[in-house]
Chains A and B, each alone.
Chain A
Amino acid sequence: MEFEPIVSHIKDELGEVIISTDETSNPMSIEISAKDVLACFNFLHTNDQLYFDMLSCISGVDNGVEAGSMEVVYNLYSIPYDHHLMIKVKLDREKAEIPSVTGIWKTADWLERETYDMYGIQFTDHPDLRRILLTADWEGFPLRKDYEHQDKYRGITVAYDIPSDDDQTEDKDRR
């Protein structure tokens, strides 16, 4: 199914859940709000004509402090119908919370844990929301645009000074 029939199909069944559509993105995307996530995704997953049975990817995006928002981007794909859909959900940066879709796609379990790990976005009703790639006692969420790493982790310095290009040329002269 093409993008427009998908959009109109969602509109027919669920009413005005779509905040905006973006046809410049690839695959084309719709934006919905966090409170409609479960109803909308349940519909997309179970509807006979849409049947998005595969959740390819969940990506978090931090729009920065000035914009004050974060986004969660879902990439859905339907194996039998071969159609794609990108869904964006905008969240408040201070209180980023979104319902978990683990109950619909099991893939979401680890992908949401990773998004939480990197952005600190809370996925409510997630069965096991722990950090996944970083250690449990790591401070801060690294992919936020205003992230500043801690100085020490268990006595190990986190960042070392990288010699700049000028230092290296001096070294060469000395040699």
Chain B
Amino acid sequence: MANDIQYRYEPDNLLKSEPTKYNLEDLKSDELLINLGPQHPSTHGVLRLEILTDNEIIKDVIPHIGYLHRCFEKHAESLPYNQIIPFVDRMDYLAAMNSEHAYALGVEKMLGITEQIPKRVEYIRVLVAELNRLASHFVAIGTYAMDIGAFTPFFWMMRDREHIQRLLEWVSGARMLYNYIWIGGLFYDLPVGFEDRCADFLNYLKPKLKELETLVTDNKIFVDRTADVGVLPLDLAINYGITGPMLRGSGLKFDLRRVDGYSVYPELDFDIPIGEGKMGTKGDCWDRTYVRVMEIHESVKIMQQCLEKLTKEHKRTREFDPQVIVPKKIRPKAQDLYIRAENPKGELGFFFRADGKSDIPFRCKARSCCFVNLSVIAELARGGMIADLVATLGSIDIVLGEVDR
């Protein structure tokens, strides 16, 4: 048995399984091929970058991905719709609630039960999804600051994220991978007293956000490091299919929560922050971070409105059962459907094909925002320095679990 799992080492294994795009023999003088990753802290996971430089200037970047490929789409073709949700969690493991929400919306739309979902369920979904959005942005900003040399923001962000994880653990029983939002409902109603604790957390958070701005976005060193770096023009961003804070950082007011108005977002009041090039050029790394920081403020606003609704209009009652319309058998009619929703990192889309004969999707494709956003890295890095490549990569905010699925 031990022999079975032996990896047979041969010197050219790496070149055979993941060949570099550029050959060492074909390089001109002064050109250098540098390998960054897959195990490198600044790549946020297992991402390998092949960098072609001319002296110190980057000429091309070729990402090699797939080190964390877990066959989501293949698994999805052999599991009933409700059992796919845990796999969806594991795609973007920093924002599992948002992914679950998108997935559940898609399947509900196929079943035609979108209208029947109780309002309280939808408000709880939005509340936990926005909590998770905060957590995701905290990681994005914290690790980004660490990438470019500031250590303190990471600890501060992780400290505040810990509160969110404990709140969500109280809700669902898990800290990161929840399986809380079910098709047609929720795993369980909010625990008693959750609304108060959540409101307390938001009150605690507000002064901390002020500190965050002083520490990160207004910080002279941070501004010097990120302004005018990795500028993404708007037309290029759209052509590359970039979405989320990256697209908004380039100056387009485009948020699917507003554009598609899914769930109860049309009933909620929030702004869409965009990058304005305050510290440099529009669409640079600073703008993208700025958009994330401002989005945290907007999410806090959304959550306060949700809490208001959940304690007044759609109060907890003894009879309320969040699983009341959870279907026992999920068998959508034969159809194709593409659903998209705003994740912290961009547009998460699911393409479903149901054959109408089974409980298992015939095809379930995940359009991952990180995957598409990462594809623009070569355009952003070209002509810059290697140190700026790290700054650019961090500002894209990728989660390799979602890039590779």
Contact = CB atoms under 8 A, between A and B. Distances in A.
A82 to B, nearest CB: 7
B55 interface: no
Contacts of A22: 336
Nearest to B339: A26
A26 B238 CA distance: 23
A137 B16 contact: yes
Interface string B332-349: 011111101000000101
Contact of B13 (A62, A84, A114, A154): A154
Contacts of B77: 143
Given A26-B337, A75-B338, A155-B6, A107 B66 contact: no
A24 B259 CA distance: 22
A79 B238 contact: yes
B90 interface: no
Contacts of A86: 336, 338
Contacts of B347: 56
A134 B69 contact: yes
A19 interface: no
A106 B336 contact: no
Given A56-B367, A75-B338, A105-B239, A135 B372 contact: no
A26 B5 contact: no
A135 B64 CA distance: 10
Contacts of A73: 336, 351
A26 B6 CA distance: 48
Interface string A100-114: 000001110111001
Interface residues of A, number: 45
A98 interface: no
Nearest to A29: B336
Interface string A74-110: 0100010010101010000000000000000111011
Contact of A142 (B8, B19, B71): B71
B353 interface: yes
A50 B394 CA distance: 35
A60 B4 CA distance: 34
B238 A53 contact: yes
Nearest to B238: A53
Contact of A107 (B13, B254, B353, B372): B372
B18 A136 contact: yes
Given A26-B109, A56-B367, A134-B69, A157 B4 contact: yes
A59 interface: yes
Q: Which of B71, B77, B333, B338 has the most CB of A within 10 A?
A: B338
A134 B404 CA distance: 9
Nearest to B3: A155
Contact of B252 (A79, A128, A156): A79
Contacts of A44: none
Contacts of B6: 155-156
A133 interface: yes
A61 B8 CA distance: 35
A55 B7 contact: no
Contact of B365 (A29, A57, A82, A128): A57
Given A25-B336, A142-B71, A156-B7, A107 B109 contact: no
Contacts of A121: none
A131 B363 CA distance: 20
A75 B349 contact: yes
B105 to A, nearest CB: 12
Contacts of A25: 335-337
Contacts of A79: 238, 252, 254
B73 interface: yes
Q: Which 7 A-B pairs rank lowest in CB-CB distance, beginning with the nearest?
A: A155-B8, A107-B241, A59-B365, A135-B17, A133-B66, A25-B336, A57-B367
30 contacts: A24-B333, A27-B338, A29-B336, A53-B238, A53-B239, A54-B241, A56-B340, A56-B349, A57-B349, A57-B367, A60-B365, A61-B353, A61-B362, A73-B336, A79-B238, A79-B252, A106-B236, A106-B240, A106-B375, A107-B240, A110-B371, A110-B375, A130-B21, A133-B69, A134-B66, A134-B69, A135-B18, A135-B66, A142-B74, A154-B8
Interface of B: 4-8, 10, 13, 16-19, 21, 65-66, 69, 71, 73-74, 77, 109, 236, 238-241, 252, 254, 259, 333-338, 340, 347, 349, 351, 353, 362-363, 365, 367, 371-372, 375-376, 404-405
